[in-house]
Amino acid sequence: MAKKAVKKTASGSGQSPNFESSLEELENLVEQMEAGDITLEESLRHFERGITLTHQCQQALKQAEQKVQILIKDNGEPEPFNTSENDEPGNDS
């Protein structure tokens, strides 16, 4: 079975990787480990990287939850998403 290349995130560039890229890299690591085509040393490196990625994902989710809580607190109740009332075709008012 062919090995997949593990994508590196922006963690080495001073930027924090976003949730989606961290989750994608984590999924790739898990697939490689489950396939069983890597050495024990590679598996340990993948596991260690997976722990880091898991913490990054948890932190991103925690921050998102905090933002939602602030928005709900500031506005009383969550508002339904509405881009603009005048954006609908035929609404020339």
pLDDT at 39: 95
Rg (CA), the chain: 20
For the chain, the structural domain boundaries read 18-74
pLDDT at 34: 95
Instruction: Split the chain (93 residues) into runs of 10 and give each run's mean pLDDT.
Output: 43 61 95 94 96 95 91 71 56 50
Distance CA 67, CA 57 (A): 15
Architecture of domain 18-74: Orthogonal Bundle (1.10)
Instruction: Please report, to the nearest 10 degrees, the dihedral formed by the alpha carbons of residues 1, 55, 16, 40 taken in order.
Output: -30
pLDDT at 81: 62
pLDDT at 22: 94
pLDDT at 8: 45
Distance CA 76, CA 93 (A): 30
